[in-house]
Amino acid sequence: MYLISKICSELTSIWRTRHELLTRITPKVRCFKIKEPENMSRYPSFKNSIWRRLSFLVVIFTLVYFPLSAQATEKVGYENWDEVVATAKGGTVNWFMWGGADNINQYVTDYIGKELQKRHDISLNRIGINDTAEAVNIVLGEKQAGIDDNGSVDLIWINGGNFRTMKQGNLLFCGYHGLLPNNQFVNWQDPSIANDFGLSVDECEVPWNRAQFAFAYDSARTQSPPKSIPQLIGWVKENPGAFTYPAATDFNGSVFIRHVFYHAAGGPEALLGDFDQDKFDAVAPKAWAILNEMKPYLWREGTTYPNAIASLAQLFANREVALYFDYDPAIFGINVENGIFPETTRSYGLDDGTIGNTNYVAIPYNSPNKAAAMVAANFILSAAAQYEKAKPDVWGAAPAIDVGRLTKEEKSRFTELPRHPAVIDPAALSQKSLPELHPDWISAIEKGWQENVAK
């Protein structure tokens, strides 16, 4: 189901969407620039040419800056929650989300959709997509076409680079957390919730799930799997061909490489914050050396890497490799239930900790159903919806709300939830949680891997 990998598949898509943003804006600029020398020759006077340049700047400024700043100061427009609920009645929410997992699709359509219909008379329209960037592109295109209040996207399952693209492009509806009653269950003091891949959330999205990287192995075949990056290096050499990781273009491959990077840097602390070329240059060679050292002992002698996490899952299922990993440990249980992984699959975190993230839902600035989308976002934060989602036979995703803030009864429901034997206890895993890096760091690491390890 690879949900987290997909929802935030920004690692492949961030450049695509950003590149688009750039290419969509630059042609306008370019046509002005091309005209410029012509104008200068026609108006040889120094004064004129300066004025021309100034007016050119002013035009560009108003063209690019004004619409952006106008969006940024947009008001939420609702006095209180009752007003939102009243407006939302009878509305439709088009929720764009990665659609590759039948259990998540069923949870969203059958549970959330039915509850929203029953409680608030809202129809939920789940739209399955392959890559979250597709929804981001739709909103981007609408903005370019000047469709500012009648967009086709009301809610997106999002995080990381896609959130960054949307927030920086002023494509999001923000500042409504105070209205949502269930916002009280969210611990905004936790930096891993208040920041999405190092970028402040700023009331522009609502947390939905938490996920933390973990390894899986078949306990019937592998007795003592490696529990840290140094152990892994030794283990790979002792068991040639039994390990590989997806290429950096894959979300999960990229996060594995970041674990090696953290190890090379002696911990994530030095790498947090904005991208720093000097820090990168100091750490990167060590990380590439470790990965290149492992390379000849990888599956197929490291001549090729799986291109997607689904391929690694297939290799693990076919017993070609002995280890699997995923950003969302719930996948281990789901894959066992789906018959993809053997029943004897077990999972674990690393002794030095593993990287965790939060994923969210966001409302685009041009959604015509903002009130209904807010009601939906509020509902998915409710104890009932988060509990349903945490059931191992439904999804098994870790709650995004702080269970400690619930009533005693609700809290005990969460603590008494059975756990799939293949899935590591999220509480134990989260005791050693590492922060996620800024998207600029991630892009630099992915690019560096392509240049220094892949070739």
Partner 1 sequence: MLMQTNRHTENSRDGLSGPVWFSLILLVSWLVLPLIPLAIWSVSRSWYFPDIIPSAFSLRAWNYVFSNTSDVLPALGVTTLIALCATLLSVIIGLPAGRALGLYQFRGKALVELLILAPTIVPGIAVALGLHVVFLSLGLAGSYLGVLIVHLIPTLPYMVLVMAGVFANYNPDTEAQARSLGASAIQTFFYVTLPAILPGLLIGSLFTFLVSWSQYILTLLIGGGRVVTLPLLLFNFASAGRNDITGAISMIYILPGVVLLLLGARHLTGRSRAVESLRQI
User: What are the residues binding partner 1 (CB under 8 A)?
Assistant: 1-2, 6, 20, 94, 96, 98-102, 105-106, 109-110, 125, 127-130, 134-135, 137-138, 141-142, 144-147, 152-153, 308-311, 313-314, 317-320, 338-340
How big is the CA angle at 423 (ends 418 and 426), to the nearest 5 degrees?
A: 80
Pick from 245, 278, 268, 252: nearest CA to 444: 278
Q: Which is nearer to partner 1, 56 or 111 (CB)?
A: 111
**Closest separation between CB of residue 261 and partner 1, Å?**
26
Which tokens sit at 257? Answer: 């490489």
Q: What is the spatial distance between Cα 411 and Cα 408, in angstroms, rounded to a whole number?
A: 5
**Closest separation between CB of residue 78 and partner 1, Å?**
26
**Closest separation between CB of residue 59 and partner 1, Å?**
21
**Closest separation between CB of residue 147 and partner 1, Å?**
6
Q: Which is nearer to partner 1, 105 or 219 (CB)?
A: 105
Q: What is the spatial distance between Cα 101 and Cα 93, in angstroms, rounded to a whole number?
A: 20
**Closest separation between CB of residue 129 and partner 1, Å?**
7
Pick from 381, 436, 399: nearest CA to 160: 436
Q: Which is nearer to partner 1, 123 or 187 (CB)?
A: 123
- Return the residue matching tokens 């939102």: 84
Buried b vs exposed e over 182-211: b needs ≥16 C-beta within 10 Å?
bbebbbeeeebbebbbbbebebbbbbbbbb
- The DSSP result for 302-329, as a single string, is GS---SSHHHHHHHHHTTSSSEEEES-T
Q: Which is nearer to partner 1, 98 or 262 (CB)?
A: 98
By three-state DSSP, how is residue 417 classified? coil
Q: What is the spatial distance between Cα 321 and Cα 334, in angstroms, rounded to a whole number?
A: 19
Helices (H) and strands (E) in the chain, counts: 20, 12
Q: What is the spatial distance between Cα 54 and Cα 60, in angstroms, rounded to a whole number?
A: 10
Q: What is the spatial distance between Cα 158 and Cα 171, in angstroms, rounded to a whole number?
A: 13
- Return the residue matching tokens 């240049």: 451
Q: Which is nearer to partner 1, 40 or 127 (CB)?
A: 127
**Closest separation between CB of residue 189 and partner 1, Å?**
35
**Closest separation between CB of residue 151 and partner 1, Å?**
8
Q: Which is nearer to partner 1, 49 or 105 (CB)?
A: 105
Q: Which is nearer to partner 1, 102 or 393 (CB)?
A: 102
Q: Which is nearer to partner 1, 99 or 421 (CB)?
A: 99
Q: Which is nearer to partner 1, 136 or 424 (CB)?
A: 136
Q: What is the spatial distance between Cα 121 and Cα 168, in angstroms, rounded to a whole number?
A: 33
**Closest separation between CB of residue 329 and partner 1, Å?**
17
Q: Which is nearer to partner 1, 333 or 435 (CB)?
A: 333
Question: Which helix (H) or strand (E) covers residue 157, if one does?
Answer: strand 155-158
Q: Which is nearer to partner 1, 257 or 312 (CB)?
A: 312
**Closest separation between CB of residue 193 and partner 1, Å?**
27
**Closest separation between CB of residue 275 and partner 1, Å?**
28
Contact 423, 333 (CB under 8 A): yes
Alpha helices in 61-173 (DSSP H): 66-72, 81-88, 102-106, 114-120, 132-144, 160-168
Q: Which is nearer to partner 1, 112 or 377 (CB)?
A: 112
Query: Strand 323-326 vs strand 214-218: parallel, antiparallel, or unpaired?
Result: antiparallel
Q: Report the Cα–Cα distance between both ends of the chain, in Å, rounded.
A: 30
**Closest separation between CB of residue 310 and partner 1, Å?**
3
The alpha carbon of residue 210 and the mean position of all alpha carbons in its chain are separated, in whole angstroms, by: 11
**Strand stretches in 176-281, DSSP E:** 195-196, 199-200, 205-212, 214-218
**Closest separation between CB of residue 317 and partner 1, Å?**
6
